[in-house]
Structure 1
C-alpha cells in the first residue's frame, strides 16, 4: 500500500507534531489530528488535515479514531497514561479484526536522567542498541510508567501490531513558519528575565544530549518507514529509539548563552550564570527542576543512524542564540514557572 492510501491519526500537532504533520502530508498520507481549539483546527484544515475535537482525557474519541487509522503518533506529552491506554485499546480492537496498526509513542530522556543536580558530568551513556539497559530502569523513572504500558501491550499484541517508542533528549530550535518554542531552555530564559540573572541548577556541570525539532520530525518519518517495511517479529526485538544530534551541552553553557544574549539586549545587568536557590524552583519546573534542568541525560541514537537518518540543523547553542532568544525577548505577560507536565 502506498502512503497515499494510509490513514494517520496524530495526537499532539504542536511544537514537534506540527512539523511531523507537514512531512506526512508531503508524502501523501491522509492525516487526522486531535485538536482542542477552533483556531487550531482551521489552520490545520487549510493545509488538508482532518481534525477531531477533544482533549487527552477524551478516551472514547481517541480509541474510536485509532480504530479508524492505520498509523498512530502520540506526540502530545510523554506523561499522559489515559490517552496512551485509549490508543492501545484501539490498536487491540484493530488486531482482533485482523487489521495491523503502527503506533509510535513519544517518551523522553528524562527517563535516563540522574540525581546529579548540576554538580558533575556523568560517564554513563545509554544506547538504543542495548534495550536491556532501558528495561533495567526503575519503574519510578520519569515517563517509565507510560512506556511500560506500551512495552506490555507489545508483548500482548505480538505480531498483531507494530509499536515503537521515540525517546528524544533536550529538543531545541524552531520552524520559522510556526515559531513555536521548546521547553527547557526557554523556561530558563523566562526565569532569567523575571529574576534578573542567568540561573543554573547547582554548578550547571551536568550534560544532556540534544536534537533540533526539525531533525526530530524527520526521524519520526524514518522510523515510520522502517516500521512499514520491517516484519513484525523483527520490530518486537526492541521498542526503543533515541534521537540525538551528536552534540551534547552542559547546562552552564545554556545559561551562559542566555546570560550573554540578555545582557547584550540590556535586560539583565550581569551575564555570568549563577546558582538558582531551591526556593525559586517554583518559577522553573517546581519539584522536578533538578531533574528537568540539572541532571545528566546522555543517549546515542544508533538505531536511527543505521536506518540512514542524520541531523542537518544547526547546533543547540547557535539555534538558541539566533532563533529562540529573539522570540523570547518579544514575550510579554507574567511568568510563574512552566505550567505543563514534565514528568510522571
Structure 2
C-alpha cells in the first residue's frame, strides 16, 4: 500500500504532526521535518526522521524542501498563509520540471462555526462529499483565506499536482511520550484551575464533532494512499476531507467532566459548571472565545470512511479523565489564556 522510498516533507511536527510522522516512518517513508529548535531536531532524528532547521516564515527553506519532496504535509497551523504560499511555489517549480506533488494541508472545522455563543444546539451538519456546502462558506470564515489559496492553486495546476485539505473537528488525546495536548478543552481545564470553577460559554449547549489525534493521524495516511493511487483528474473533483469519530459533544458536558475530575483531585472548590462571564474571555481565547469554545461545528467524514478508514481510539470523555487532565494537573507554568492563534478570518 505504501509507496516506500517516496520523500515526504512534513511542516509542523507538533501535536498532530508528530503522530503523522510516526505513522509515516512506520510505513517506510523517508520524512524530513521543518523544526525551529536544534534540541527537538535531535529528538526527531533519533526517531528516524531527517530535519531542516527553520520556521514558517523561512520561505526559501520551504520552497527548496518542497521542490525536493514528492509529498508535503502541513500540520503546523491552519492560519499561516506565507508558508502555504511557499509550498505552492515549490509545487509549481516541480510541475514545471514535469514532477507531480502530493500536498495535504491542515485546516479545521472552525470554518463551520456559527454564532450560537453556547446558547443552542445547531442543526446544520456538513458532509465532505458535498463540497458545494463548504464552498458556500463566506470567505471571511475561519481558516478560509488559506484554504482558498489552495483551492486556487488546484485550479491553476490542474492535473500536474494533487492537493487536498484535511479539516479536523475538535482534536483530543494525549501522547504521554511527547507530552503534547490539543487546544480547546485543555485551555478550559487550565481556566478552571486558575478560576476555581469549570466554565462554559453561554449555556454550553452547542455541539462539536470530535476526533482522537491518533485516529486523525491514520486519517492523513489513508488520504495519502488514496492520493497516491488516484488519477489527478479525479482528485480535482473535491479538495475537502473531514475526519471525525461519529460522536459529538456539548461543551457543557465536557466542562462537567473537567469540573468533576478537578474537584475530586482537590484542584477546585465546586464541581458545578457555570457560565463564564465575558470579562474573563481574555483568559481563554480573547475576542474569539465564543466561536472557539461556544459555537456549533458539526461535520461528517464520509469520504475517509468510504476509503476504509475507521476510528479506533477511546472516546473524548474517557480521554479527558485518563490522559489530558492528569497531564494538565502536572503543569507548573502560570496560565493566562491561550497564546497562539485561535481563529482566523475577518468574520
TM-score (normalizing by structure 1): 0.99
1:128 corresponds to = 128
For 1:112, the equivalent position in structure 2 comes to 112
| Structure 1 stretches of 4+ moved >3 Å | none
Give the secondary-structure state (helix, strand or coil) at the position aligned to 1:252: helix
Partner of 1:296: 296
Q: Which residue of 2 aligns with 1:85?
A: 85
Partner of 2:158: 158
The question of 1:21 aligning with 2:13 is answered: no
Per-residue deviation, 1:39: 1.1
Contact 1:143 1:343 in 2 (8 A): yes
Task: Tell me how far apart the structure 2 counterparts of residues 210 and 333 of structure 1 sit (CA, whole Å).
Answer: 28
* In structure 2, distance between residues paired with 1:241 and 1:277: 35
Unpaired runs of 5+ residues, structure 2, are none
Q: Once superposed, what is the RMSD of the aligned Cα atoms? A: 0.9
Deviations 1:51-97 (A, max 9, x none): 01111011111011000000000000000000000000000100111
Matched position secondary structure for 2:320: helix
Write the deviation string for residues 176-208 of structure 1: whole angstroms up to 9, x where unpaired: 322211100000000001111001000000000
Q: Partner residue of 2:305?
A: 305
1:1-344 residue pairs with structure 2 within 5 A? Answer: 3-344=3-344
User: Contact 2:2/2:27 (CA < 8 Å) preserved in 1?
Assistant: no
Residues 296 and 302 of structure 1, relative CA distance in 2, 3 Å threshold:
same
SS in 2 for 1:164: strand
SS of equivalent residue, structure 2 residue 15: coil
Which secondary structure does the structure 1 equivalent of 2:140 belong to? coil
- Conserved 8 A contact 1:30-1:49: yes
Q: Could you tell me the TM-score, scaled by structure 2's length?
A: 0.98
Q: Please tell me whether the aligned partners of residues 190 and 335 of structure 2 are also in contact (alpha carbons under 8 angstroms).
A: yes
- Offset at residue 2 of structure 1 (A): 6.2
Query: In the aligned structure 2, how far is the partner of 1:216 from the partner of 1:79?
Result: 19
Distance in structure 1 (CA, Å) of the matches to 2:247 and 2:317 = 10
CA distance in 2, matches of 1:124, 1:5: 43
Contact 1:8 1:29 in 2 (8 A): yes
Partners of 2:68 and 2:342 in 1: CA distance? 30
Tell me, yes or no, if the aligned pair for 1:107 and 1:147 is still in contact at 8 Å.
Answer: yes
SS of the residue corresponding to residue 5 of structure 1 reads coil
Deviation at 1:333, TM superposition (A): 1.9
Aligned mates of 1:104, 1:197 — CA distance in 2: 40
**In 2, Cα distance between equivalents of 1:225 and 1:100:** 15
Q: Distance in 2 between matches of 1:96 and 1:223?
A: 25
CA drift at 1:3: 2.4
Q: Which runs of 5+ in 1 are unaligned?
A: none
Q: Size of the alignment, in residue pairs?
A: 344
- Distance across 1 between alignment mates of 2:176 and 2:306: 29
